[in-house]
């Protein structure tokens, strides 16, 4: 018999600060220009969150194309129009133009992974460049987690508005507790962010001092 299901509780603020710290230090190695490009892309994704109708036609087209591809593959290459249309109508994807949020989650995670898997020439970055990159990385980490949270919540609100705790997976569920009712940038959260940024600045300055070439006599 399978073991009893259990729940892994992830405090939201701790998860958020961990991601922000990681992205901040990676941002310090990438420089402000690359982080600014990431910030612009995240700003576009935020605009889609505010006005999902802007991306609905594009996502709906992508969903239809994927349904057609799946229908073609399921028919093992059969090009019979009637059968292909029947399979196409029977295929349902977890996202479309009316509920694009799962697609946006995948796109966001893929973009962040690809964006932060690249590195620039670290030796050519100045201390100020690294500090600004770390500051932008701090903001990008916060925005990334916030966007994923909002996308997931909106997805389930549309997909299953009456979802209850009994409908969760029976084996393992990951419950994020302590969702904030106010902004993180207040109280202890503000102190933690300032501490992270201070540590990043100290590490950047120490790194510049220790890698400074010794002048020849």
pLDDT tens digit sequence for 84-110: 788 878 888 888 888 888 889 999 988
Q: Are 101 and 60 in contact (CB under 8 A)?
A: no
Cα 178 to Cα 180: distance, rounded to the nearest angstrom: 6
Reference 33, options 111, 98, 161, 121; nearest CA is 121
Condensed to tens digits (0 to 9), the pLDDT of residues 124-148 reads 778 788 888 888 888 899 999 999 9
Condensed to tens digits (0 to 9), the pLDDT of residues 172-183 reads 445 555 555 555
Condensed to tens digits (0 to 9), the pLDDT of residues 19-59 reads 888 888 888 888 888 888 889 999 999 898 888 888 888 98
Residue-wise over 79-116: b if at least 16 C-beta within 10 A, else e? Answer: eeeeebeebbeeeeeebbbebbbbbbbebbeeebeebb
Q: How confident is the model at residue 71 (pLDDT cuts 50, 70, 90)?
A: confident
Reference 56, options 116, 103, 93; nearest CA is 103
Of 191 and 112, the structure prediction assigns the larger pLDDT to 112
SS3 7: strand
Cα 131 to Cα 133: distance, rounded to the nearest angstrom: 5
HSE of 171, CA atoms in CB hemisphere, 13 A: 2
Question: What residue spans define the domains of the chain?
Answer: 6-55+100-210
Residue 165 pLDDT: 44
Cα 105 to Cα 27: distance, rounded to the nearest angstrom: 22
Provide the 10 A C-beta neighbour count for residue 197.
Answer: 18
Q: How many residues does the chain have?
A: 217
Residue 217 pLDDT: 46
């Amino acid at each position: 018999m399978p073991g009893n299901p259990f729940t892994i509780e992830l405090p939201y603020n701790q998860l958020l600060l961990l991601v922000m710290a990681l992205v901040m230090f990676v941002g310090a190695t990438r420089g402000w220009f690359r982080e600014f490009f990431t910030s612009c892309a995240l700003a576009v994704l935020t605009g889609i969150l505010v006005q999902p109708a802007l991306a609905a036609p594009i996502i709906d087209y992508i969903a239809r194309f994927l349904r057609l591809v799946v229908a073609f593959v399921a028919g093992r290459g059969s090009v019979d129009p009637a059968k292909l249309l029947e399979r196409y109508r029977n295929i349902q994807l977890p996202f479309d133009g009316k509920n694009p949020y799962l697609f946006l989650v995948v796109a966001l995670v893929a973009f962040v992974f690809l964006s932060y898997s690249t590195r620039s020439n670290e030796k050519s970055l100045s201390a100020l460049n690294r500090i600004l990159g770390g500051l932008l990385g701090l903001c990008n980490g916060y925005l990334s987690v916030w966007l994923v949270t909002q996308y997931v919540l909106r997805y389930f609100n549309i997909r299953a508005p009456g979802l209850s705790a009994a409908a969760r997976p029976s084996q393992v569920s990951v419950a994020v507790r302590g969702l904030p009712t106010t902004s993180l940038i207040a109280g202890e959260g503000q102190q933690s962010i300032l501490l992270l940024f201070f540590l990043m600045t100290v590490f950047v300055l120490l790194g510049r001092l220790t890698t400074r070439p010794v002048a020849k006599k």
